[in-house]
Amino acid sequence: MTDKNPFSRRQFLAATSGVMGAAKLYGQGAAGEATPAAKLALQGGPKAVQGGLPQLVRWGQPERERMNALIDQTNLFYWKGPQTTLLIDRFRQTCPLEHVMTCSSGTAALHIAVAAAGIEPGDEVITSPISDIGTVIGVIYQQAVPVFADLGRNTYNLDPEDVARRITPKTKAIIAVHLAGNPCDMHALKTLADQHNLVLIEDCAQAWGAKFRDKPIGTVGHIGCFSLQAAKHVTSGEGGVVASNDPRFGPLLQRFGDKGMDRLAKGGLFEVFATNYRMSEPQAGFAAAQLTRVEGIAEKRSRLGNLLNDKIASTPGIEPHQVHPDDRSTYWFLMFRVRPESFKCERAEFVKALVAEGVPASAGYIPVPLYGNPVFQKHGFFAGRWPLKEQGLTTMDYAQVACPEAEAILKTGVRVTIHEGMGEAYVLSLATAVRKVATHYAH
């Protein structure tokens, strides 16, 4: 599908002249390379990035209209509520899945998915060690065992070859985390799932609007899980969506998010045991308004992230974020890696120099892989204990787990903020700053 150009001739000329002006201002040559010998801002030189981080305006009239509509409602409960109905309809326009359950968080969406997939005590679920702990909370609460597989060097997503090595007779599912909005290799993971009769769950919390080839993220696996937490591309403060086209799992999503009650059945009986993960009508209304912005947000973040990636790709010592050319990453953030042997400084100083240049950068992502956290190292999931292990239903020892590439990613990664409020000239200046700092510290 070809995107339509939203710019008029006047807007195009203004934008391109701004980009050329930025190139001149920040010492960028015709080939997009930084001029050498620029003094670091950290040492008193001029900043490569002029001005602060562009403001991001996240809500306005569409959200106000939804909130005003709520005042006329007599009930704010989710079931068949007008706001929830609208949210589900708009979600399907973005992600065409038949069975959709709105819920209280992305963590809740993942727990619902694991429960609907029939994960039993002692079952193993393979997933990424670099993710929010919400990816595995539902696994642990269902008395199953998270198994962490290593990641691709620059995709930061599951390495299908390592996933294959970790499959055992106890493996029942794979949770593919599309980290930072960069699609996993879903062809390879789906093939593994089909070969071993596994459920493939997609953690799309950071991937609103992303596409694997031409397919919306969330539609390739058996179940897709989304987050509406405050920092995500679209938000209702807190909230989530879980959805599926699979007739085995889709009809179960609602009851596993609603205390086990099937609201389409008669008698009000509880067929399964589940918790309350319902979303309220105010959350649904706000989220429905936000979903009108998804495509614009996704398109711009993809374009700006790709621009920054392209401009730093040839910089010695820098490894850009690897995105398949036929995919659309929506860059919840962009992360590149520095090769320690290429520079005369530690990563901390490299990042400090970037920040001084005006780059919204930070070191790494999470402090340690999930298995490195104290709760995993001590197996202290339930009042400081793990009954599953005590009863001999698993031999997992997280103190012995190692994912070397994931650990190296966290030690060498540099995270840069990308959002739809930025312009091309600003992103070009970020690239110039990266090249400037890399040139200064190069061996």
Q: What are the angstrom distances between the C-alpha of 211 and each of 106, 185, 334?
A: 19, 11, 16
Treating both helix axes as pointing N-terminal to C-terminal, what angle do 134-141 and 106-116 enclose, rounded to 10 degrees?
A: 40
Q: Concatenated DSSP letters for 368-434?
A: S-GGGSHHHHTT-TBTTB-HHHHTTS----GGG---HHHHHHHHHEEEE---TT--HHHHHHHHHHH
State which H helix or E strand residue 177 sits in: strand 171-177
CA torsion, points 313, 317, 323, 329, in degrees to nearest 10? Answer: -80
Catalytic residue list contains 170: no
- Residue written as tokens 């060097």? 153
Q: Would you call 184 exposed, middle or buried from its count of C-beta atoms within 10 A (0-12, 13-18, 19+)?
A: buried
Mark out the alpha helices in 291-366 (DSSP H runs): 294-312, 347-357
Contact 227, 313 (CB under 8 A): no
Measured distance CA(240)–CA(376) in Å, rounded: 25
Number of Cβ within a 10 Å radius of residue 361: 24
Q: Tell me the backbone φ, ψ of residue 25, rounded to 5 degrees.
A: -65, -40
Where residue 364 falls (left for φ over 0; alpha for ψ -120 to 50; beta otherwise) is left
Contact 101, 263 (CB under 8 A): no
Which member of 232, 300, 311, 436 is catalytic?
232
Show the tokens assigned to 262: 């099937």
Supply the residues annotated as catalytic: 232
